[in-house]
Chain A
């Protein structure tokens, strides 16, 4: 809370220094009328002063906070009785967590050792001290920088260049976030996955055919229990994605062809947005629809035909997922079809081809690479789709190709393994990250191939 008030104070100071800097730049040349003698517009002098006031102080505050917290924890923990220093890493973490929870006013879990309680008190005291000191230092840095910047204002100071340099730096930093995210995903998922592969060999994970992580919850059983063979999950994911694509590709492609080649403008303007409505519906709604309507419907049909259909059949999840992907396929296919030059069609018509022959023999082959790319993107989406399968597909891993049975998928397992509190060191929890890693790389490869095909294709007719 105190940090917040320091930040607000610094921002207030910064606004004030903007005003002062601007005023000084005008005063220095003797009024607004002779502002042309300045290198930059007066506002730039103000902004530069304001930036000097805020940026160094805020950076310092952030560093102070991070380093301070770390240091305080070290100091506090070193006061704990001797066994802390000799304890294992896991026990240390437990003790640290306990101290922090007590210090943040959390309820004690069971008996608390007196030295832990004392450490929490100490933490509170040192934390308050560090915050006060940090706040004072930041405020004085802010004042010093602002006054130095203010006193350096002169007609020859290149204020605009300075401000623009900061702006450009900020822009570059923002564009780096995309890379940081990717790196963050890879590092964090890879790190936990590698910890998992320490416990379970990677080949057992990738090639094993039995999956039952629930057995491994007890900590004393780590090496010996739980089966982490992910093949049934990959098979289940593939089965559901296949069903989804069997629904989405024909419907999406054919409706795109009809709407872009046959339908007149009125039909197109009504039907296209309606179909795209499907793309805007949250996946949780599709999941609910699958559970509430499609599942029971398939079951009823199965009963009428004398076939046993599981309540959480792969078919129900796949069908609904297919519906979800229809607009995705159709809008991509639509883009690809309209990119085919009219000349190709006219050439075919001139040779006497009917419209459908033109489409099948000329337009589709010309647009095929793009459409394949779009379908690959749709596959990657089907593989990574979570809510529909979490709600409508099963939990038990079964290696089957029968769409009427319940199968489970990679995403379902990730959710069921990580929802709810469980310790972060068990292979059960870590296996979710291994699955996430597989999922990330599978979709990454699909995306890279697909995007490359789409890009090359869309440049072809330019």
Chain B
């Protein structure tokens, strides 16, 4: 006590605190600023990823919606098409249309005489040109002997040149298009005979080994069929399971077990569901490989937990007063659920279901397991046909070595993303418009 008198002007406890706080304030504010900056950097990085991802895909893929066509004067010479003079469709289909196409090309580029050069010249067109001409002639045999201007599909390399993906500035040895071909392409471009049009083939063709002929119709139909199976099974089963667990089940060890199961299944890697599908549906039940029905079953098992969890949340959000009112009016428990609780919970359930479906639409790993990765050129027509789905088609194209498939892949991704965006937008509209806040 007395010692304090001897000391030089001494600060009280409060003053000391104030001094320390004041001295540390600068450092603390700096730390505050730093912490805040970290947060901003993290958010910016995240947003940057979004922008880079989307801009890469769009810039690479937008070209896939256009396709180069070469307009040629085609002479349907009777000698090639109907050498024996028979004009029945079956005979016309036998004609040598390749020769017609080649003649048209030689006609335009009459200076080309060397064998090698001729072969290169024929390579300007996609090999589907003769089928196009054949179909025209079979439909209208009067074309024989006449000359007409036809737009024919250009080959993938020509397409890449027109779109500027192959530049003449790179050394000739490093590119797939020679200077000679560049000359022809430029000549055709100057005459407006080589033009880009909207690529309808992308939406009307199945898969093909030739990039310029490959389309996503087969994969799109496959996705629709698979998703149809998934919706038809997972929605009723999921809602029923949720209703049981939320409205009827007594909480005991058995229902707890179901609940733990569902939560775990929601986090099991999707590829494990593929293994299940392979072992059970294909090996054990002998269902066909690569079929949309098996794909749909696998995706059903995969999306069920999502739908059950979402449906339970929607059911839980319905206030107990509704149930008590229904009971008060003499409804049975089943009537209470089907007449009152379910209709009120429906928007929430559907929102969850759509989000689950969107995930199923983008899923590919389990479908690889059950053989939906085969090359399939035909458009599937039944649930048991061999098929592939859009994401798997993207995977298949992306593993192709041809440069032109990069563009197709990005184009297919854009289509897939548009579908996903539409589904999510639908879910959002449902949520905003119909969901009630109690």
State the A residues within 8 Å of B (CB): 160, 163-164, 167-168, 170-172, 174-179, 181-182, 184-185, 188-189, 191-192, 250-255, 257-259, 262-263, 271, 274-275, 277-278, 280-289, 291-293, 323, 326-327, 330, 352, 354-357, 359-360, 377, 380-381, 383-387, 390-391, 411, 414-415, 418-419, 424, 432-433, 436, 439-440, 443-444, 447-448, 450-451
B49 located at the interface, meaning its Cβ lies under 8 Å from any Cβ of chain A in the complex: yes
Most chain A C-beta atoms within 10 Å of own C-beta, residue among B45, B245, B269, B410: B269
Assembled-state Cα–Cα distance A451/B56 (Å): 36
In the complex with contacts A287-B395, A433-B279, A440-B272, A251-B45 CB distance below 8 A: yes
B270 touches A384 (CB 8 A): yes
A354 touches B275 (CB 8 A): no
Question: Which residue on chain A has the smallest CB distance to residue B399?
Answer: A391
Q: When each residue 52-92 of chain B gets 1 if its CB lies under 8 Å from chain A and 0 otherwise, what string results? A: 11001100100000000000000000000000000000000
Q: With both chains docked as a complex, state the minimum distance between the C-beta of B408 and any C-beta of chain A, in angstroms.
A: 11
State the B residues within 8 Å of A (CB): 21, 28-29, 31-32, 34-36, 38-43, 45-47, 49-50, 52-53, 56-57, 60, 236-238, 240-241, 243-245, 248-249, 257-258, 260-265, 267-273, 275-276, 278-280, 283-284, 301, 304-305, 308, 332-334, 358, 361-365, 368-369, 371, 373, 391-392, 394-395, 398-399, 406, 409-410, 413, 416-417, 420, 424
In the complex with contacts A284-B362, A285-B413, A391-B398, A254-B39 CB distance below 8 A: yes
Q: With both chains docked as a complex, state the minimum distance between the C-beta of A431 and any C-beta of chain B, in angstroms.
A: 12
* Further pairs besides A414-B271, A419-B368: 13, Cβ < 8 Å: A181-B304, A258-B38, A262-B36, A282-B420, A285-B362, A323-B53, A327-B46, A357-B28, A411-B271, A436-B271, A447-B264, A447-B267, A448-B260
A185 touches B39 (CB 8 A): no
> Inside 8 A of B280's CB, which chain A residues have their CB?
184, 188
13 contacts between A and B (CB under 8 A): A164-B332, A171-B240, A271-B47, A280-B358, A281-B53, A282-B363, A282-B391, A285-B416, A359-B35, A415-B365, A415-B369, A419-B369, A436-B271
> Inside 8 A of B416's CB, which chain A residues have their CB?
282, 285
Q: Decide if the interface of chain A is mainly helix, strand, loop or mixed.
A: helix
Question: Which residue on chain A has the smallest CB distance to residue B273?
Answer: A185
Q: Which of A288, A354, A357, A384 is close to B271, meaning CB atoms less than 8 Å apart? A: A384
Assembled-state Cα–Cα distance A300/B107 (Å): 47
Question: Which residue on chain B has the smallest CB distance to residue A260?
Answer: B39
Q: With both chains docked as a complex, state the minimum distance between the C-beta of B52 and any C-beta of chain A, in angstroms.
A: 8
In the complex with contacts A188-B275, A285-B413, A181-B50 CB distance below 8 A: no
A175 touches B258 (CB 8 A): yes
A189 touches B276 (CB 8 A): yes
Question: Which residue on chain B has the smallest CB distance to residue A418?
Answer: B369
B275 touches A380 (CB 8 A): no
B29 touches A354 (CB 8 A): yes
Q: With both chains docked as a complex, state the minimum distance between the C-beta of B26 and any C-beta of chain A, in angstroms.
A: 12
> Inside 8 A of A444's CB, which chain B residues have their CB?
264, 268
Question: Which residue on chain B has the smallest CB distance to residue A326?
Answer: B46
Assembled-state Cα–Cα distance A164/B50 (Å): 50
> Inside 8 A of A293's CB, which chain B residues have their CB?
52, 56
A175 touches B394 (CB 8 A): no
